Structure 1
Amino acid sequence: MNDYQFTPAAIEELIMLRNKCHESRLKDRFLALILIATMPLAPILEISKIIGKSTKTIERWLEIYFTKGVESLKQYNYKPKKSKLNFYQKNQLYIYVSFYNPRTINEVVAYIKKQFTIDYSYDGVRTILKKMKLKVIRSKTVPGKTPSVDVQENFIKQYYVLKNEPNSVTLFGDGMHLLHQNLPFYCWGVPLFPPILETNTSRKRLNILGAYNPKDCSFLHITSEDNCNAERVIEFLELILKTYSSIPKINLIVDNARYFHASIVREWLENNKQIKMVYLPAYAPNLNLIERFWKYSKNQLVRGKYYETYKEFRVKAFQFLNNIKDHEESLKKLMVEKFQIVRA
């Protein structure tokens, strides 16, 4: 039995407030008082079991209602715990994470302990980092010997000169190894249940020499299991020469792979002046448009794609490489002639 007295008007008001309320936590408060008012013989312990709240919580609601009124019952007086770190310490922590990029939260916990002699839990530090808008990010890679900005910008200028030459075509060429393997990918989903991918044990791969024409989104290639070498480069150049036989000058932009500089390749070029090999600055894959094409190819062929047999993988690869025009709309958006300048 409880000793709380409610007038009929007060009970009616509580029922009305609960019916109009859309906040579940407030509804629980009103319901607890309604049950106490309409079930005077029921002990608060029984009411607490019905509501799913402790007797202490319900008694606190009753005290607020009878001493401060129903309006006070609608208010939340939650006060978050005060951070152990002051403003300056948080700034220092932000600078530490921004410049040193710790790999784990435990490293940050250890830093706070050493730097400020303050103990924080793993979850506590994670909360602080989230409030600072810091997230787990994926690192990016750039060549270790990136050419200067001037060198990169001069090459881009050179490209536009070549591109605008009359009676000419400019292609981006490169080699790529396509492994018979299912590669992981990023996606939206439930963190506890990430997609499970089947993988292959095969180490077989296709070695591709390709040339991309940004003007019409066309693609030429020679693809096989043979390694890329000088002989295959000559076979590749002959394919380009045959395809563009009616064009007086063919500019082929390539990187500095050894097979592009081989003596027999230089000799072939001397005898076939129609093709001019244009070499990228060393360590500047960002200036080779075909690198984007290779990334697109992998997304289409092996990222999240499982082929049980190498034969099936090979067929799919050739179907894609021989029908690039089917992807023209996507490539027009991706293969824009905007080059990233990498700053060391």
Structure 2
Amino acid sequence: MPNAIIAEDDDGIRLDRWFQRHAAGISFNIVSRWSKTGSVRLDGKKAGPGDRIAAGQRLDWPDTLPAETAPRPKVKERSPLSDAEIAYMRAMVIHRDAHAIVINKPPGLATQGGTGLSTSVDAMLDALQYDAPSRPRLVHRLDKDTSGVLLLARTARAAAFFSKEFAGREAKKLYWALTMGVPKVSAGTIDAAIAKQPGTGGEKMQVDPETGLKAKTRYRVIERAAGRAAWVEFQPLTGRTHQIRVHAAAIGHCLVGDGKYGGKEAFLTGGISRKLHLHSRRLVIALPDGGRLDIKADLPPHMAESWAMLGFDLALGDVEEAPPPPPPAKKSRRLSSTASGNRRGERRSRSSQPGGSSKPPRRS
């Protein structure tokens, strides 16, 4: 009977996922059938395909497949990367530790492959394996034309942890963008549900209060270029597709270069690039060991040039808004010792008068 000791890199994953990684041809259904007969075991105990495994456990399984089950076709192996591709990917790295690698993704490079895409970050992740036992894993996405901070997990355990942080909205993501015109309200929250736009095959989204999914984005104007454009910081509080782009257009100030949501009105003259001006500037997220990662990515060349042309001071972008001061504490009235009893001529409170109300005032 074959057996294996679970490695650190597989700590916390599902049993069926372990077989996908290390035993080609053994599917979920096969593990499930073995489980029903007690043929697959972890440390001598029965195990099911959905059970989480831990580093150091001993895994035993049958050396023959269940009857009438054909092995799955082998997954096509990835072509080895060229030296140029490896150098290209490693030049993007802005942080590396035991749990994570962070890259500053350039605009124009897709996070994952798809129709009509010849390359992607995911296709070249072998370049960032370094000394780890396996290639890093994607845990969130950036649009193809959006640049900036992209987090990669170096282990399965870290991937599960980071995915949970993103899903629970615990990670703080800040984006810098250039908007057409200047929002009248310099800071606020855009609360507008988003849904797929019919007839676009899911390639375009729209505000849809009836059927859309809840979407909220905080924003603040950092600097203005007269009434022509504004440098705006966006913080998405939810994670909908194209959320910042849709919300910016919804308040009448689409992002510069965003023809999809701004049409012909999304472009500035005067030498400003026609590329999308949206950059993932900063990510703050907890680490699996209890620490915290706080990382920033420099602007891509086309946005840095636009900032220089418009006279924006980059130092202003990292000056965080101070939270509003707390309201002043109410002064308590101190009663003298003679005021504790009923004095002649003392006015009774409203609550003690006939017909008076004892309810506290309503706060607006």
> What is the TM-score of this pair, normalised by structure 2?
0.21
**Larger RCO (CA within 8 A; separation ≥ 6):** 1
Larger Rg: 1
> What is the TM-score of this pair, normalised by structure 1?
0.22
More strand by share: 2
